[in-house]
Amino acid sequence: TYTTTTFNSVQWDFDDFTNMCDNTGFITTSGDRPNIRLVYCGGVDLNDLEYSWSPTVGLDDATSANPNVTPPSSPITYTVTVGETGSGCESTADVTVGWYPPADVSFIPQPDEGVYPFAPYFNNTSASDVTSFVWNFGNGDGSTDQFPNYTFQGPGVYVVTLQGTSVNGCVGLFVDTVIVLDQPIVEIPNVFSPNGDGENDTFAFLDFRGFDTFSFKVFNRWGMLVHETRNVRDGNNTIWKPANDVPDGTYYYVFNGKGLNGDSFEKTGHITLVR
């Protein structure tokens, strides 16, 4: 608060019209000006700030500097007023908050199982508005490519995660599993009964994984070839459906395959056919 004193001069003019004379004199007056309270806010740090948000819908604390907001499904504009306690300094600003869904993130490992070293194709099927990606291959390795090239160097079950961020800044997460085998797996049954009762009528592998190509040959007890399959797609389907003229008895098979890693694989055994 400042108090100022000012001085003012008043000029008086005197004229004597009788004697045709004149003169000039001055009278000085003085007085106190009113008290004036000055407040200067620009360019200085303020303390003890107060915050007021409006409207308060969706806010957990309308007087906080950083309130948490749960906005409605449509955009909403908040006005925040910031002022210093007792000084009269304040300022306002507007912020518009919109609700956006999580980023639509997904991928497909093709295939999702193989023999190491195993390099599946990671087909990123995320939505077009997802613009940044962070991959984790379940072993500490990662990538930020949209369609990464990665080779698993050891057997195991790998939980692969993809985190994506949309153009609106929203994050989404997708998880899938990749199984890496140390060698191809084929499990061949040793008995079946093609008698038309709907149970165990066809011969198929119980488990078939990790092969690039294979051949499966069945011989009778005299060493004559009675059946052969070479189509790798048949590995998870019917392998042998013998004709009615194939007699019951014991047959022998030879399985030769090449794993997805290029290694050769062979397995032999017998099959009992009982109608």
Cα–Cα dist 76/89, whole Å: 27
What is residue 50's predicted lDDT score, i.e. its pLDDT?
A: 87
Cα–Cα dist 139/149, whole Å: 15
Cα–Cα dist 100/189, whole Å: 54
Cα–Cα dist 263/243, whole Å: 34
Helix (H, G, I), strand (E, B), or coil: what is residue 52?
Answer: strand
Residue-range domains of the chain with CATH: 1-99 (no CATH), 107-181 (2.60.40.10), 185-273 (2.60.40)
Residue 175 tokens read as 């998880």
Cα–Cα dist 68/60, whole Å: 6
Radius of gyration (Cα) for the chain, nearest Å? 45
Cα–Cα dist 75/97, whole Å: 5
For residue 121, give every residue at least 6 positions away whose Cβ sits within 8 Å of its Cβ, in sequence order, or none.
109, 110, 147
37-43, Cβ contacts within 8 angstroms, sequence gap of 24 or more: 37/1, 38/1, 38/2, 39/87, 39/88, 39/89, 41/84, 41/87, 41/89
Spans in the chain with pLDDT lower than 50:
1-7, 10, 12, 14, 27, 29, 31, 33-40
Q: Are strands 107-110 and 121-124 parallel, antiparallel or unpaired?
A: antiparallel
For residue 217, give every residue at least 6 positions away whose Cβ sits within 8 Å of its Cβ, in sequence order, or none.
225, 227, 228, 253, 254, 255
Residue 10 and residue 29 in contact, taking contact as beta carbons nearer than 8 Å: yes
**Short-list 254, 219, 257, CA closest to 235:** 257
Please give the single-letter amino acid code of residue 249: G
First-to-final CA distance of the chain: 113
Q: What is the pTM of this model?
A: 0.54
What is residue 238's predicted lDDT score, i.e. its pLDDT?
A: 62
Cα–Cα dist 137/249, whole Å: 49
What is residue 178's predicted lDDT score, i.e. its pLDDT?
A: 97
Cα torsion through 104, 109, 112, 116, rounded to 10: -140
